[in-house]
Amino acid sequence: MSMDRRRFLAQGAALAFWTKSALAMQDSAKTIKAGIIGVGGRGMGHVGDILRVPGVELKAVCDIAASRVEMAQNRAEKAGKARPAAYTKGELDYKRMVAEQELDIVYVATPWEWHVKMAVEAMKHGKHAAIEVPAATTLEECWEMVETSEQTGRYCIQLENCNYDRVELMALNMVRKGLLGEVVHAECGYLHDLRGIKFSDRGEGLWRLNHALRRNADIYPTHGLGPVAQTLCINRGNLFDHLVSMASRTAGLHEYASKKFGPDSPQAKLDVKLGDVVSSLIRTRAGQTILVVHDTNLPRPYSRKYMLQGTKGILQKYPDPKIYVEGRGKNDEWQDLFPGYEAEFEHPLWKELQERAKGAGHGGMDYVMNWRLMECLKKGIEPDTDVYDAAALCAVTELSEKSIANRSASVDFPDFTRGKWRSRKPLGVVTA
């Protein structure tokens, strides 16, 4: 579809989106009925959170593996809840689930190539969609999410749990209170040794390696970039404007496979397209720069490279949370973020939910994310992130791919909001 035609059709769709959304949020007292498509590792984590969040009922579970669905049913029963309906009749049985079940929201926690088609199916049947990361892998999928959400009036939310980690929430609070001054630069990314997972014969190993074989791009940009985008008010008074990307040579997966399986093994002879380190530099409409790094083929400790640089100070999370604020502490010396700053800047969500979040995935941030999403739906308020945020973050994959393929040429971001970013209000420091 041409861009002119897309924009023309979107004008009417956008009006319908906001009207339907307002109507959908009027009934704020009802119990939220949730369904989940895909109950592997991530999906089962959401099962546990949903069962713990008050006012939420897990109504249906879908997976091609009947044993995983039964596990989710047993977990619900053990928690004293009703057994959710089971959908296990093949890879398209999710269509039956979203068509016949009365659900408010459908979680999608499947391999990446299924994310958008499943979310679109859910929205077309009147359900909100919550998609695991990355929500989309191409610009066409990004637009399909946006247009379907606008046309149906259903939310399409990317489940970016890192937005709700303790340091990232505290940093949001600090920036909103002006501690770091005006933020002019940020660094972030996903730096995680996934060599073992990519060559595994189970779980994500069944599909994740394929993306590294097919694409030279930042194929997983959202964990680091999500919290930065939220802090810099992307799509809410600010916008990603353009990026340039560069990829290193590819060596890590070949060397790993040669040692593990032998130099003459099929694994060692795979043609890997993904550069070992992909670096993208984004400039925003407000003039900030953001360095985004993807590094999953090499040996290294885990990091999301989270750093904010402002006119009054700097904060970094890895390897240990540190901060430097001019006029606080010794000149030119880092201070530990903990203890010292939490009494003044702990985010209200984390402060109030950390006890309830104990034992939940990824240090508790998964529960905080799910609690907050369900609370928004119950109270009839807009969620912290929406389809425009999902699209902007996921657009990095194809845009970085195009830049790399064209000798790091500058590539423009689409404006998925079609100008609405100018009047949308930034996310504040919300409470529980």
Residue pLDDT tens, the chain, 432 long: 454 555 555 555 555 554 455 444 444 468 999 999 999 999 999 999 999 999 999 999 999 999 999 999 999 999 999 999 999 999 999 999 999 999 999 999 999 999 999 999 999 999 999 999 999 999 999 999 999 999 999 999 999 999 999 999 999 999 999 999 999 999 999 999 999 999 999 999 999 999 999 999 999 999 999 999 999 999 999 999 999 999 999 999 999 999 999 999 999 999 999 999 999 999 999 999 999 999 999 999 999 999 999 999 999 999 999 999 999 999 999 999 999 999 999 999 999 999 999 999 999 999 999 999 999 999 999 999 999 999 999 999 999 999 999 999 999 999 999 999 999 999 999 998
- The β-bridge partners of 61 are 36, 86
Instruction: List the alpha helices (DSSP H) in 53-193.
Output: 66-78, 93-100, 115-124, 139-152, 166-176
Distances (CA, A) of 276 to 191, 304, 384: 10, 16, 33
Whether residues 10 and 141 fall in one domain: yes
Q: Supply the pLDDT for residue 27.
A: 45
User: In degrees, to the nearest 5, what angle opens at C-alpha 305 toward C-alphas 301 and 309?
Assistant: 150
Whether residues 103 and 174 fall in one domain: no
Whether residues 196 and 101 fall in one domain: no
Tokens of 42: 């991530």
Residue 358 falls inside a structural domain? no
Q: Which of 135, 160, 185 is the last residue of a domain?
A: 160
DSSP state of 113: G
Which class for 351: exposed (0-12), middle (13-18), buried (19 or more C-beta within 10 A)?
middle
Tokens of 123: 């929205």
Residue 428 falls inside a structural domain? no
Look up the pTM and report it.
Answer: 0.93
Q: Which of 113, 132, 160 is the last residue of a domain?
A: 160
Whether residues 327 and 194 fall in one domain: yes
DSSP state of 349: H
Contact assessment for residue 379 and residue 431, using Cβ atoms and an 8 Å cutoff:
no
Helix (H, G, I), strand (E, B) or coil at 298: coil
Whether residues 68 and 167 fall in one domain: no
Closest by Cα among 158, 292, 277, 162 to 221: 292
Whether residues 229 and 171 fall in one domain: yes
Residue 137 falls inside a structural domain? yes
CATH code (residue 94): 3.40.50.720
Which class for 284: exposed (0-12), middle (13-18), buried (19 or more C-beta within 10 A)?
buried
Whether residues 102 and 142 fall in one domain: yes
Residue 429 falls inside a structural domain? no
Residue 280 main-chain phi, psi, to 5 deg: -125, 140
Give the structural domain span for 133: 3-160
Q: Which of 160, 180, 197 is the last residue of a domain?
A: 160
Whether residues 130 and 266 fall in one domain: no
Whether residues 151 and 240 fall in one domain: no
Tokens of 4: 């002119």
Residue 100 falls inside a structural domain? yes
Residue 299 falls inside a structural domain? yes
Query: For the chain, how many structural domains are there in total?
Result: 2
Whether residues 155 and 240 fall in one domain: no
Please give the Cα distance from 138 to 402 (Å, whole number).
Answer: 11
Whether residues 231 and 306 fall in one domain: yes
CATH code (residue 218): 3.30.360.10
